[in-house]
Structure 1
Amino acid sequence: MKYEWKKQDKSFYLPQAKPELITVPGFNYFMLEGSGNPNSNLFTEAVAVLYSLSYAAKMLPKKGRLLTEGYYDYSVFPLEGVWDLTEEGRQKDVLDKDELLYTLMIRQPEFVTADLAAEIIKMVKLTKPHVLMEKAIFGKVEDGLSVQMLHYGSYDDEPESFAAMEDYCMRNGLIRASKTHKEIYLTDARRTRPDKLKTVLRFKVNRN
């Protein structure tokens, strides 16, 4: 049976539009670190590189490449991003997108091991060469105890949802672990009106 993250992993990817507490286990990802404005060409190219790697993993059987033990059909997972600001950016009163730091990532199924990931990266370097491919890495990320919610609308309106999440923390004895946060993109900003975007917002917390 095909693994559908929208069905089997609803708690991680399809929360309600209100804050909730969740514990997220570790998952394996292809990742790329970057900085600067997410509206730049470099950001778009980084996203494309990650999808090239992710679809290469999914299409291994059709390419006649190795079939690792435990392979199963699945839907490619959504794009995720961990966001931060430079020290200079933190000092500014308004968000300067040029000061953003990010790690973009796409989750991979359990059968994608470190060795298999290395082979996939090597294969895609040959078929779809790109300078960013040299920076692609594979590893496990565990969000752990977190507060999350579904944000409807423009990315520029996310502060309203973050305010609701901060208020939830105050009322439930939780402390935000850091200023970084994760976004999971359920819609494609290139094909979706800003007011129709759906984004999971999540940050790590500790109990007070």
Structure 2
Amino acid sequence: MKVDPKRQISTYTAPRGAFEIVTVPPIRYLMIDGHGDPNERGQYEDALTTLYPVAYNLKFLSKRELDRDYVVPPLEALWWGDDMAAFTTARDKSRWDWTVLSLVPDWIEDAHVDEARATVAGKGGAPRLDVLRVQRLDEGRCVQTLHVGPYDAEGPVLERMHDEFIPAHGLRLTGRHHEIYLSDPRRAAPEKLRTILRQPVVDL
């Protein structure tokens, strides 16, 4: 029986057109850090070229050796910078820092990740394998919403989240802006892209 990890975690759904406050459980991820415009050739493309082969090798290893098959979860990313306006109004992607993420199911051990990494290394073509790591992310309380549309149309939604909803509920931003890409941009039209926008928060 194939398991879909995102269906087992309630915070992988969010309301469209509204904000909600949720508590996100600690989750282990494959992670690769980088900087700069994700639409330009370079670090971001290299990170995905590395992340996906390891994620899929883990899936096949789990099915083959552990008799546990699962759906590879959607791509996720953390985004940050010196000025949050780079995300909301200016959308200056050259100033963005990021970490791409791929969820690792709880039953996968670090030794399995090492085995998958070695398999990918043997095949070549994974340029950022040396900086890939496994790490647990504990975001705790967050505000999130489902955005439907192009990535570049996120700005006004984030402004309302940051400047209206969060302070109105006695909260302030902490941690890093988090996006969960429920749609494949290679297959979905920009106006139909579904992305969960998430922001960790704490009390004022």
Regarding TM over 0.5, the answer is yes
Identity of aligned residues (%): 32
Distance 1:127 1:110, change over 3 A: same
- 1:84–1:181 Cα contact (<8 Å) kept: yes
2:101 equivalent in structure 1: 105
- 2:62–2:108 Cα contact (<8 Å) kept: no
1:173 equivalent in structure 2: 170
1:24 equivalent in structure 2: 24
Distance 1:160 1:94, change over 3 A: closer
1:24 to partner: Cα distance: 0.7
Q: CA separation in 2, counterparts of 1:51 and 1:107?
A: 11
Q: CA separation in 1, counterparts of 2:62 and 2:25?
A: 28
* Matching residue's letter, 1:200: I
Local SS of the residue matching 2:128: helix
- 2:49–2:126 Cα contact (<8 Å) kept: no
| 1:9-61 deviation per Cα after TM superposition (whole angstroms, max 9, x unaligned) | 2x221211111011111111111111111112232231132111111011115
Match status 1:13 vs 2:32: no
Q: Could you state the TM-score of these two structures normalised by the residue count of structure 1? A: 0.87
Moved over 3 A (4+): none
* Matching residue's letter, 2:55: S
1:56 equivalent in structure 2: 57
Local SS of the residue matching 1:102: strand
Structure 1 segments unaligned to the other structure (5+ residues): none
1:82 to partner: Cα distance: 0.3
Match status 1:36 vs 2:32: no
1:4 equivalent in structure 2: 4
1:5 to partner: Cα distance: 3.4
Aligned residues: 198
Q: CA separation in 1, counterparts of 2:21 and 2:125?
A: 41
- 1:77–1:106 Cα contact (<8 Å) kept: yes
